[in-house]
Amino acid sequence: MIDWIPVVFVTFKVLVFGTCMFFAVKWHYDQDKKKTDKRALLITAAKLGVAFLVALALLLWLAFALARHLGMDLSLP
């Protein structure tokens, strides 16, 4: 007897990923038709980069603070 759980989940996963890929390609194709301001695009990319770096630094700081709070030795030998 076949176990139907993996078949159903894999089928669902393929359908969801296929649908998402279709709409992602369609959205990018539609965006390509529009004229975009290069300066605004660069500013947005810079803002996202800075936000990512700040979030990464905050996560690193929280990880070390939690490790110190739990009593882990973080010194290098």
pLDDT tens digit string along 24-73?
999 988 887 777 788 888 999 999 999 999 999 999 999 999 999 999 88
The pLDDT of residue 75: 83
The pLDDT of residue 40: 86
The pLDDT of residue 67: 92
Contact partners, residue 68, CB within 8 Å, separation at least 6: 74
The pLDDT of residue 3: 83
Distance CA 53, CA 60 (A): 10
The pLDDT of residue 70: 93
- Output the six-digit token pair for 20: 């998402």
Give residue limits of the domains in the chain.
1-34, 37-77
| Predicted confidence (pLDDT) at residue 1 exceeds the cutoff of 70 | no
